[in-house]
Amino acid sequence: MTGPIMRKELLTAMIASGKPVSRVEIQEVTMEPGIKVPLHLHPCPTVGVISEGTISFQLEGQSVHHLKVGDAFYEPADVRVAKFDNDGAVTAKFVVFYLLGVNEQETIRILAK
């Protein structure tokens, strides 16, 4: 398509069948250079897009992905995120969407190991 409105597919995420989503919480997150996020998971499906900088992203047991501006990511519910780090020399920023069900409040859980 050409013209004043352009669409670019970034990501298709398969959400667990039967997962009721009653609301979406959207947050913009800024990470200074060198920040390493501890092992964690999200009790709800999470999708996002990088708007500044780069992020090293790894779900436990999978390979590391190096996300750059415009890249989208998906973190399935209750899957351990081994790496979501700003290994770059500049600030990274991303927008994240938490797909929450009825009465769900928790968006992230830090894990001991």
Q: Is the pLDDT of residue 96 over 80?
A: yes
Sheet containing 65-67: order of strands? 65-67, 55-59, 81-85, 40-41, 109-110
- CA 89-93-98 angle, 5° bins: 140
69-92 confidence digits (pLDDT tens)? 999 999 999 999 999 999 999 999
Looking at residue 35, its amino acid is: I
Cα–Cα distances in Å, from 31 out to 52, 62, 110?
10, 23, 17
Q: Is the pLDDT of residue 113 over 90?
A: no
- Structure confidence at residue 17 as a pLDDT band (50, 70, 90): confident
Q: How many CB atoms lie within 10 A of CB 93?
A: 16
**Which of 8, 41, 28 shows the shortest CA–CA distance to 91?**
28
Residue 48 CA to residue 23 CA, distance in Å, equals: 16
Q: Could you tell me the domains of the chain?
A: 23-110 (2.60.120.10)
20-69 confidence digits (pLDDT tens)? 999 999 999 999 999 999 999 999 999 999 999 999 999 999 999 999 99
Model confidence, pTM: 0.91
